[in-house]
Amino acid sequence: MEINILKIKQSIVYTIKIAWIVLFLVICGTQVLFSQSDPIQLGDTLKQNFNTIGTSPTFYMPGAWRLRKEDLVRTYSDYTINNYQISDYTAGSNMSSSASAGFYNFSDGTNTNDRAVGGISSSSWSYQSINIMEKIRNSGLSLIEKFKISYSIEKYRNGTNPAGYRIQMAYGTSGTSWTNAGADFLTLFPADANNNGYTNAPVSTYIYNKYINVSLNPGGFLYFAWNYSVASGSLTASAQALALDDVMIIPIAKPNVNTLSCSNSTSTSLTVNGEITNVNGDLATERGFILYEADGTDKIIGGAGVSQYAENGLFNIGQFSHIFSNLCPNITYSIRAYAINACGITYGAKQNCSTIPVSLNLSTSSPICANDNFSINATLITGATYHWTNSTGIIQPSTTNILNLNLPAATYTYNCYYTLACGYTSPVSSITITISPKPLTSNIYHY
């Protein structure tokens, strides 16, 4: 039989190529899998209810979620050691008191399509800790300053372990080193009187809108982990069965604020306006304005000469206004709108607005005769205190805009200026009055 050496060589080369292609796909596929992350940016809400994992004990964790166990209590796992395919157990209502330790695909007792992920410890070294982990990536162009997180911890079986069981959330930037998220993210269940399951499982405890004080740059990665384990000590027998469900992760940043133009000016007041254009995932709890005499600087709350108006509540996007009163006439003020949320305060760019100048005019009725009652009237200015003097500097008794007089025939000069609570003192205005003698009257006699 003739052997075709050329065909054998071609076959060997082809086989080697196929092997390299398969190896390449395996390596690249693994790298893609390990580098998978769930994208999130300001304006997004990342939700996970695990309902897509189905009802089988063999299931895939959704997206960039991972599930791992550790053989030590209260120990977090390495996210980069992949475990996205799970093949352990399912449970729901009436979970057995002798249920095996392991990962569980739990179901709501009244709706089998409502799933949750968790597990139960064993009395041996296995499954001392169970970690449910998530990897996210800032897919936007803006810095995420904090995260607002909600989720539910569901209990499917009691446990008489005297230490009780807990799920503690942590976070990190590497997937291998973790920072405890604190008491706001600790769910603790004390010891129960038995190891029974619930007739209508689960019993749920909610963590709602709690803040993680960690920032994430555009393109950066962040990891979350929920660690299930005994609350203290190392005894893990008679464990409670717990699960994670209904996770909601909201990236947040300080609000966006604009200072708008003033809409009304008087001699002593300004109507100022502002607008929250974006709350960036977290409602503002305070909004308001600052006002100060314009000096070219961008002042803030608490600065020298700064007046503040604050309004407290929960504020979404929208415009808001305020009237600053008791101001000085003919003064240019700088106004800055601001808003505060859990990330901090944002000021709008300053707008300059001026109060209206007021001229102090003095007038009286004419002609005036000696010893007649009359008055000098000054321009009425809201909030003003008036100061009157005569030509010899004697202070007159009136502090209003009306000075009542009764004088003999002569020529007089009276001066007036006013002051305001803001510290303003007006220029002095004067009026000269000539008072004539009373006309002579003729006496007519009849005989």
Is residue 447, in this structure, part of any structural domain at all? no
Same domain, 192 and 221: yes
Kindly report the CATH number assigned to the domain that includes residue 243.
2.60.120
Domain carrying residue 378: 362-436
Is residue 371, in this structure, part of any structural domain at all? yes
Residue 199 has pLDDT above 60, yes or no: yes
Same domain, 236 and 270: no
Domain boundary among 226, 252, 278: 252
Same domain, 164 and 38: yes
Same domain, 184 and 288: no
Residue 32 has pLDDT above 50, yes or no: no
Residue 129 · residue 74 · CB < 8 Å: yes
Same domain, 288 and 236: no
Same domain, 191 and 284: no
Residue 221 · residue 37 · CB < 8 Å: yes
Distance CA 205, CA 92 (A): 17
Instruction: Give the DSSP letter of residue 197.
Output: B
pLDDT digits (tens, 9 = 90+) for 341-391: 999 999 999 999 999 988 899 999 767 888 889 999 999 987 889 999 998
Into how many domains does the chain fold? Answer: 3
Q: Which residue, among 168, 280, 153, has the nearest Cα to 224 in the 3D structure?
A: 168
**Cα distances (Å, whole numbers) of residue 121 to 99, 118, 124, 406:** 10, 10, 8, 102
Same domain, 340 and 265: yes
Is residue 11, in this structure, part of any structural domain at all? no
Is residue 172, in this structure, part of any structural domain at all? yes
Same domain, 137 and 160: yes
Is residue 130, in this structure, part of any structural domain at all? yes
pLDDT digits (tens, 9 = 90+) for 63-101: 999 999 999 999 999 999 876 778 799 999 999 999 999
Same domain, 153 and 290: no
Same domain, 94 and 164: yes
Same domain, 74 and 210: yes
Q: Supply the pTM of this predicted model.
A: 0.80
Residue 260 has pLDDT above 70, yes or no: yes
Domain boundary among 354, 376, 408: 354
Same domain, 105 and 235: yes
Mean pLDDT of 141-164: 98
Is residue 6, in this structure, part of any structural domain at all? no
pLDDT digits (tens, 9 = 90+) for 102-137: 999 999 988 999 999 999 998 877 789 999 999 999
Is residue 143, in this structure, part of any structural domain at all? yes
